[in-house]
Amino acid sequence: MKSLVDSISIITCTGKNKVGKVATEITSQGYCSTKNMCYFGLKFHAVAFCGKRIIPFPEISILSATDENDSTVFKRECVGNLNNREIYADKIYSDIPFYKETQECKKLELFTPVRAIKGESPEIPQREKNTRDLFLTAVSKVRQPIESLFNWLNEKTNIQRVMKVRAISGLWYI
**What is the rounded average pLDDT for all residues in the chain?**
79
Question: How many CA atoms are closer than 13 Å to the CA of 83, on its beta-carbon side?
Answer: 4
pLDDT band (50, 70, 90) for residue 96: low
Burial 2-23 (b: 16+ CB within 10 A, else e): bbbbbbbbbbbbbeeeeebebb
pLDDT for 113 equals 81
* Listed range (39-43, 119-123, 163-167) with the worst mean pLDDT: 163-167
pLDDT for 168 equals 61
Averaged over 7-24, what is the pLDDT? 73
Averaged over 61-82, what is the pLDDT? 85
SS3 per residue for the chain = CEEEEEEEEEEEEECCCCCCCCCCCCCEEEEECCCCEEEEEEEEEEEEECCCCCCCEEEEEEEEECCCCHHHHHHHHCHHHCCCEEEECCHHHCCHHHHHHHHHHHCEEEECCCCCCCCCCCHHHHHCHHHHHHHHHHHHHHHHHHHHHHHHHHHHHCCCECCCCCCHHHHHCC
pLDDT band (50, 70, 90) for residue 169: low
